[in-house]
Amino acid sequence: MQATSRTQGTVERISALFLRRRTVVACIIAILMTCFVAGYYVQVTVTNLRSTHQSLNDRQLRNGYIAISDLHRLVLIIQEAAVRGKMSDEAVADFRAASDFLFVRMDTFRRIQSRGDFLKEADDAIAALRRAQAVADDAIANDFRDLDADAAALIEHTQIAREALVIYLDRMRQLQDNLLFGQTAAVENQRTVVWVILLGLSVLGIAATTLLRKEVMAKQARQAAEERVRHLAFFDPLTGLPNRVQFQDRLSELLAQKTALALLLVDLDGFKQINDTYGHAAGDDILRHVAAALGPYRTPDGGFAARLGGDEFAVVCISEDIPLLSQICDDVIAAIADPIVFEGEAVGVEASIGLATKTQIGRQVAHTVDGLTRVADFALYASKSNGKRQFTIYDEVLEHQFLERRAMVEELPQAIADGSLDYYLQPKVDMTTEEVFGFEALARWRRNGVIVPPSAFIGIAEESGLIADIDCSILSNATRDIANFNLCHGTSFSISVNFSTLHFSSLKFVETVKHALLASGLQPDLLTIEITETAEMQDWGKAKQVVSAIHDLGAKVSIDDFGAGFSSLAYLRTTVADEIKIDRSLVQDIETSDTSRFLLDAVLDIARNLGLDATVEGIETRRQADIVLEMGARKAQGYFFSRPMPRDDALAAAMTTDQPLLQRPAS
Ligand code: C2E
Ligand code: MG
Ligand code: MG
- Looking at residue 613, its pLDDT comes to 93
Answer whether 562 contacts ligand 1 (Cβ < 6 A).
no
Is the CB–ligand 1 distance for residue 24 below 6 Å?
Answer: no
Ligand 1 contact via 471 beta carbon (within 6 Å): yes
455 lines ligand 1 (CB under 6 A): yes
Ligand 1 touching residue 618 (CB < 6 A): yes
Which ligand 1 atom sits nearest the alpha carbon of residue 617? 15
* pLDDT the model gives residue 72: 86
209 CB under 6 A from ligand 1? no
Which structural domains are found in the chain, ordered by start?
Answer: 18-212 (1.20.120), 236-394 (3.30.70.270), 415-657 (3.20.20.450)
| The ligand 1 atom nearest the CA atom of 461 | 44
Ligand 1 close to Cβ of residue 567 (< 6 A) = no
Residue 472: its pLDDT value, please? 95
Helix (H, G, I), strand (E, B) or coil at 198: helix
Residue 659: predicted pLDDT: 44
- Distance (Å) from CA 633 to ligand 1 centroid: 20
Q: Could you give the residue ranges of the DSSP H alpha helices within 85-146?
A: 89-115, 120-141
Parts of the chain with a pLDDT under 50: 1, 535-536, 658-667
For residue 583, how far is its CA from the centre of ligand 2 (angstroms)? Answer: 10
Report whether residue 561 contacts ligand 1, using a CB cutoff of 6 Å: yes
262 forms beta bridges with: 317, 357
Cα 494 to ligand 1 centroid, rounded to whole Å: 17
Angle subtended by helix axes 280-294 and 322-337, to nearest 10: 150
Residue whose CA lies nearest to ligand 1 atom number 23: 618
Of the listed ligands, the closest to the CA of 587 is: 1
**Residue 499 Cα, ligand 3 centroid: separation in angstroms?**
11
**The one-letter amino acid at 399:** E
Ligand 1 atom showing the smallest separation from residue 453 Cα:
26
What 3-state class would DSSP assign to 339? coil
Q: Are 579 and 556 contacting, i.e. CB atoms less than 8 angstroms apart?
A: yes
Q: Tell me the CA–centroid distance for residue 354 and ligand 2, in Å.
A: 34
Helix (H, G, I), strand (E, B) or coil at 615: strand
Return the ligand 1 atom nearest residue 581 CA: 3
Q: How many angstroms does the Cα of residue 423 sit away from the middle of ligand 1?
A: 11
Give CA–CA dist 252/429, Å, rounded.
Answer: 63
From CA 99, how far away is CA 389, in angstroms rounded? 130
Angle at which helix 89-115 crosses helix 21-84, to 10 degrees, equals: 140
Residue nearest atom 19 of ligand 1, based on CA coordinates: 618
Is the minimum distance from the CB of 474 to ligand 1 under 6 angstroms?
yes
Return the closest-CA partner of residue 370 out of 232, 236, 255.
255
Furthest-apart CA pair in the chain: how many Å? 200
Q: Would you put residue 429 in left (φ > 0), alpha (ψ -120 to 50) or beta?
A: beta
Measured from the alpha carbon of residue 582, the closest ligand is 3
How many angstroms separate the alpha carbon of residue 20 from the centre of ligand 1?
78
Kindly report the protein residue whose alpha carbon is nearest to atom 37 of ligand 1: 442
Please tell me the distance from the alpha carbon of residue 314 to that of residue 291, in angstroms, as a whole number. 10
For the CA of 637, the nearest atom of ligand 1? 15
Centre of ligand 1 to C-alpha 483, Å, is 22
Q: Output the CA 613–ligand 3 centroid distance in Å.
A: 15
So what's the pLDDT on residue 113?
66
Residue nearest to atom 12 of ligand 1 (CA): 618
Per-residue model confidence as pLDDT tens digits over 347-392: 999 999 999 998 877 665 667 888 899 889 989 989 998 888 999 9
The SS3 assignment for 456 reads helix
Tell me the β-bridge partners of 356: 263
Pocket test of ligand 1: the residue of 455, 460, 498 to mutate, having most ligand atoms within 8 Å of its CB, is 498
